[in-house]
Amino acid sequence: MNNIIDLIKTRVSCPKLQAPAPNKLELEEILACAMRAPDHARLKPWRYHVVTGASLDNLGEVFVQTQQENMVSQVKIEKCRNMPKRAPMIIVAVCEPVDNLKVPKVEQLLAVGAGIQNMQIAISSLGYGSIWRTGDMAHHQIVKKHFNISQNGEIVGFLYIGTPDKQPSLSVLNLKEYVKHWD
């Protein structure tokens, strides 16, 4: 069809990512794509935190702190510590909802989600891989505090970014199962 459609149709999430991550210029292009997400009333509710290098280790320690009130095994603690090291770069996508009579919080969360998707497509186009993750860490107060997120703010996703070690398989869905035409 065309290159952009082919790229979107063949994009896959990559759970295993290694160095290199996008360089500074590439990262700016990726973030610029996030800024072009559709956004009702142009509220710009998104905030992006780019985590690399020693800050990935720090984030691992923050994840460990979330387990302190639970009686968890050393294995679980090490799992939390190593989570951020599954990629050389993580972009933490945050929604800080703006009070607006016409635009509810759910629409603002969707705008940030659209920003993440724009970034995933840009990342693939540059030959890198990514995966959008959430899980318990996305909702934990300790993690939210680490990124100075307000009480009403949300982590919409941790976008893990790097170079895929292999291309995961692509599942192609049958349109007929999900689409009904009303002619």
Ligand X SMILES: Cc1cc2nc3c(=O)[nH]c(=O)nc-3n(C[C@H](O)[C@H](O)[C@H](O)COP(=O)(O)O)c2cc1C
Chain residues binding ligand X by CB under 6 A are: 12-13, 131-135, 157
Locate the DSSP E strands across the chain.
17-18, 46-52, 89-95, 129-133, 154-164
For ligand X, which is the closer residue by CB, 13 or 18? 13
Longest Cα–Cα distance in the chain: 59
Instruction: Find the residue with minimal CB distance to ligand X.
Output: 13
For ligand X, which is the closer residue by CB, 28 or 76? 76
For ligand X, which is the closer residue by CB, 55 or 134? 134
Write the DSSP symbol of residue 32.
H
For the CB of residue 13, give the shortest distance to ligand X in the complex, in Å: 4
For the CB of residue 132, give the shortest distance to ligand X in the complex, in Å: 4
Say how many Å lie between the first and final Cα of the chain, rounded.
Answer: 24
For the CB of residue 170, give the shortest distance to ligand X in the complex, in Å: 7
Which residues does residue 93 pair with via DSSP β-bridges, in sequence order? 48, 157
Picking from 128, 141, 137, 179, the residue whose alpha carbon sits closest to that of residue 158 is 137
For the CB of residue 138, give the shortest distance to ligand X in the complex, in Å: 8
For ligand X, which is the closer residue by CB, 28 or 136? 136
